[in-house]
Amino acid sequence: MKAYIMEYIGTTFLVLTVGFSQNPLAIGIMLGVMIYMGGHISGGHFNPSVTLSVYFRKKIEGKFVWGYIVCQVLGAFTAAFIYYMVYSNTFYPAPAEDIELWKAILLELLFTFAYCSVVLAIATSEKTKGNFVYGFAIGLTVTASAYTVGPITGGAFNPAVFLGPMLMDVFIGGNSAEHLVLYLVGPLGGSALAAIVYRIINVD
């Protein structure tokens, strides 16, 4: 239960920062400090893509995966609801209007792959166990990725970052659900690819 609560809290503050700041540096810093706060309790995933990568690495039991994902999406929805209370509107990632869907999916996949690869290498490997830079490294990866392709894809790399605000948007009559394929296929594909590549190039 403590792990579920931590995943909910961490994802809430991550998505609040996404909504209120729209700033990759602020988002990366918030993610990093939330990971330091919750890493020893839940692993500090705050992202279904990370949870699935860690599951494929057999570092989390399957019975906990759906609980983590539900709490992450609930946290993201809470953030979107708070944003709505403040601005009477919502927010959600969206790709550039002139980008083809497959290209946006490819970029979300590649940069989620990078994100999850860093998580697996620095937070789940016995060779890096006990390091104190994991939150910093993961946060910077998200910051760099958001600066690089955020203007093109919306820079989610995290299904919860889209699903929570999307649910709020749909509730108030919006049409953000049209981007659902992009923010599920891209990040979840990158998650699976990261786990596969990790197993190929690492021994532990």
- Round the average pLDDT of the chain to a whole number and report it: 94
Check residues 170 and 129 and name the one with the higher pLDDT: 170
Confidence category of residue 204, pLDDT binned at 50, 70, 90: low
Smallest CA-to-CA distance from 78 within 146, 135, 35, 18 is with 18
47-70 mean pLDDT? 94
51-63 mean pLDDT? 92
Confidence category of residue 27, pLDDT binned at 50, 70, 90: very high
Residue 125 has pLDDT above 90, yes or no: no
Taking the C-alpha atoms of 108, 86, 42 and 199 in order, what is their torsion angle to the nearest 10 degrees? 0
Total domains in the fold of the chain: 1
Confidence category of residue 203, pLDDT binned at 50, 70, 90: low
CATH no. for residue 40?
Answer: 1.20.1080.10
Residue 193 has pLDDT above 80, yes or no: yes
Assess contact for 43 and 60: CB atoms under 8 A: yes
Q: Which domain holds residue 65?
A: 2-201
Q: What percent of the chain has pLDDT over 90?
A: 86
Residue 175's pLDDT is what?
92
